[in-house]
Amino acid sequence: MTAAAPLGYDADGARIQSHEFAWKRSADQDAAQPARHRVVVIGAGPVGLTLAIDLAQRGVPVLVLDSDCRLSTGSRAICFAKRTLEIWDRLGVGDAMGAKGVRWNVGRVFFGDAQLYRFDLLPEAGHERPAFINLQQYYAEAFLAVRAAQLANLEIRWKSRVHAIESEDEGEGEGVLLGVDTPAGTYRLRADYVAACDGARSPARALLGLETRGRVFHDRFLIADVRMQADLPAERWFWFDPPFHRHQSVLLHRQPDGVWRIDFQLGWDADPDEEKKPERIRPRVDAMMRQALGHEVPFELEWASVYTFACRRMERFRHGRVFFAGDAAHGVSPFGARGANSGVQDADNLGWKLAAVIAGHAGAALLETYGAEREPAADENLLNSTRSTDFITPKSEISRMFRDAVLTLSRDLPFARTLVNSGRLSVPATLHASPLNTPDVEGESFEGRMAPGAPASDAPLVRLDGRASWLLRELGARFTLLLAAGGGSEALASGLAGPAGEALPLRILVVHGADPGGEGKAPEGESKAAEGEGNAPGGEGKAPEGAGAPPQRERPGVTADGARAPGSVEAVHVRDAQGFVGRRYDLQCGGAVLIRPDLHVCARWRAPDVDAIRAAIRRALASP
Amino acid sequence: MKELRPMPLVTTPNLSAPDDFYEALIDAHRDLSTEESHALNARLVLVLVNHVGDLDVLREALGIARSGSRIQARQGS
């Protein structure tokens, strides 16, 4: 089959599933010496593509190698979390994902034939993104691939399997030598850095002789994706021990295109080949629909798979110049949607650090913090995922007895609902113990969750031009200082922009209070002084603007590259019209919060000064 | 010898009417099969656990319950 026309954001599922990316012979293949690349990403899945786009947008040329020429077969990961969407917003694909995906916040838990309770994962207002969208993994990968194709400094080579990895640790020639297998034979290339995002069975991990350790669970699950007209809400429904599937669990999710994901626990003794047969699946789905809707519904079986899982991780995610991210580094149970979502957080953590080191704004010490931050995050995911699995699949009689006791009580007693564990759904890790955090000033205390290390929370705000926007949309690709107007904020902003600010890749978001006529009134004109500097045309590997731009609202700083734009300090004024920013960040007159390029809080002050802010940025770059 | 830190769990007599409670406990299990009684106990534990709330207290109680002795529970910890 010849390769079809390029994919667009409007491609439908069938088109995406049948799409084959073309393999083209690379000039590297004919080079006398292995060609040298800045960063090579192995694997064009959601994690690898997220990392590659982030790097490219930050001005780092990046090469992606994928052993295949197709996107995900079947829906696979379908629950993409709020945080993942926020990261994808920064990459210019959040709107495409959000428009196609099924938004959901609500879950219901059933035990036997009765509903126990419902829960709302996002019970508060003031967020642009929902707790989750459900979207077939092939859509997510396709949209990322469409975005990737718009970036001139991002190349994907399909049908290019990495068959050898060798670290070259000697002197100036430090790097990684890769052997690549293609339809026209093999060739070698060199990379300054390699990111292995090549999935749970990670060939890269095996090539380096590295292990992943943890717990294998002796249970099998059937995924059935069925297309049907069913009058059910966009919610997550979880059954413990339902009458239509005794002694097991069942999970129902709605996907786009009228497709429903049903996940049946089967037990260890199930025969995976038998269970995948349509004649085995149909009666299971019919029985479930009789329970859920009261009657059967005609359906088409789209895709089925029987899976097992393990909760495990590599001991270290960084090995010299090779970084492991996503399933290659860690595996979890599917309950909680912590697989792909944590992988996207890995990519988010690694991208800006590699860019800063490559641009010379930080030393190699910053790369050490990738493992220091993401290994504990993986532990948190593993702990949650293992606990969910133990609740869903009790391993002893007494464990089942307590599980059923919890479920029985939870129908009337809200306290027991806190113990019900049908999956603790993915939330981004708070990097509590990160060496990049600046501890709060002694004696200063803050309300709310936005402590150093916390993932920055969204909040609605209004731009100076009167347009409504969202806080996370207004954060740049660089460090951002949220600075509450009033107090010494004006002097501080000009101090930071002053001549001593030579290496400060910083955006200042001056947050004015709700009252438009009050003393916090934003000065007119001033805000444009430095804004857009990062958007200056030119620069190596810069993506062409205009043609083929994604269907995304204008986003300041999306192509601004903090790492490549030393000394550019831009100040932008916004109004906290509904007070959400002030409340969520406990931001009071003159106070400030420093946010990293990956949208984690790293420092905050009641009464900041220029030196403290500069020191916090240096600390967050691991460059004291 | 290990230093004994203050234990948060109340183990001094604290029941207002011990005999009445004991009777009520046995009564609650009347006519239940062993399995049903185990289930009742499990629910009872959960309800009381929520009333206590404090994880340190609960961990101490779990230790005592596991060994059947406060002294052994301390040595084990």
Which tens digit of pLDDT belongs to each residue from A128-159? 999 999 999 999 999 999 999 999 999 999 99
A481 has pLDDT over 50 = yes
Residue length, chain B?
77
A560 has pLDDT over 80 = no
Rounded to an integer, what distance in angstroms lies between the CA atom of residue A16 and that of residue A141? 9
Measured between CA atoms, the residue of chain B closest to residue A404 is B39
Rounded to an integer, what distance in angstroms lies between the CA atom of residue A245 and that of residue A290? 12
Question: How far does the CA of residue B37 sit from the closest CA of chain A (Å)?
Answer: 11
A289-300 pLDDT, tens digit per residue, is 999 999 999 999
A549 has pLDDT over 70 = no
- A419 interfaces chain B, CB cutoff of 8 Å: yes
- B39 interfaces chain A, CB cutoff of 8 Å: yes
- B46 interfaces chain A, CB cutoff of 8 Å: yes
Question: How far does the CA of residue B48 sit from the closest CA of chain A (Å)?
Answer: 11
Q: A570: how many CB neighbours lie within 10 A of its CB?
A: 24
pLDDT at residue A503, as a whole number: 55
Measured between CA atoms, the residue of chain B closest to residue A403 is B42
pLDDT at residue A461, as a whole number: 96
pLDDT at residue A558, as a whole number: 35
Angle subtended at Cα A338 by Cα A399 and Cα A375, rounded to the nearest 5 degrees: 95
Rounded to an integer, what distance in angstroms lies between the CA atom of residue A215 and that of residue A300? 36
Of A346-350, A500-504, A525-529, minimum mean pLDDT range: A525-529
Q: Do A402 and B46 touch (CB under 8 A)?
A: yes
Q: Which whole-number Å values give the CA distances from A158 to A27, A43, A141, A327, B63, in the listed order?
A: 14, 9, 14, 20, 58
pLDDT mean over A165-188:
89
Q: Could you tell me where the DSSP H helices lie in A359-448?
A: 365-392, 397-410, 414-417
* Higher pLDDT pick, A254 / B7: A254
Structure ipTM? 0.90
Chain A environment of B52 (Cβ under 8 Å): none
Average pLDDT of chain B, as a whole number: 90
Average pLDDT of chain A, as a whole number: 89
A538 has pLDDT over 80 = no
Is residue A70 within 8 A of residue A43, CB to CB? The reply is no
Is residue A571 within 8 A of residue A498, CB to CB? The reply is no
Q: Do B39 and A406 touch (CB under 8 A)?
A: no
Chain A environment of B43 (Cβ under 8 Å): 405, 408-409
Query: Residue B20 class from Cβ within 10 Å (0-12 exposed, 13-18 middle, 19+ buried)?
Result: exposed
* Full DSSP string of A173-207: G-EEEEEEEETTEEEEEEEEEEEE---TT-HHHHH
Closest CA relative to residue A235, chosen from A391, A82, A119, A97? A119
pTM > 0.80: yes
- B33 interfaces chain A, CB cutoff of 8 Å: no
Rounded to an integer, what distance in angstroms lies between the CA atom of residue A46 and that of residue A58? 18
For an interface test with B, the pick among A241, A407, A409 (most B C-beta atoms closer than 10 Å) comes out as A409
Q: Do B43 and A408 touch (CB under 8 A)?
A: yes
- B50 interfaces chain A, CB cutoff of 8 Å: yes
pLDDT at residue B70, as a whole number: 79
pLDDT at residue A412, as a whole number: 95
Query: Residue B68 class from Cβ within 10 Å (0-12 exposed, 13-18 middle, 19+ buried)?
Result: exposed
Q: Do A408 and B47 touch (CB under 8 A)?
A: no
A173 has pLDDT over 70 = no
pLDDT at residue A517, as a whole number: 46
pLDDT at residue A405, as a whole number: 98
Task: Return the residue matching tokens 């969202």.
Answer: A470
- Which residues have a Cβ under 8 Å from the Cβ of A103 and sit 6 or more positions away? A130, A132, A133, A234
Is residue A66 within 8 A of residue A158, CB to CB? The reply is yes
What tokens appear for A349 in the block? 């953590």
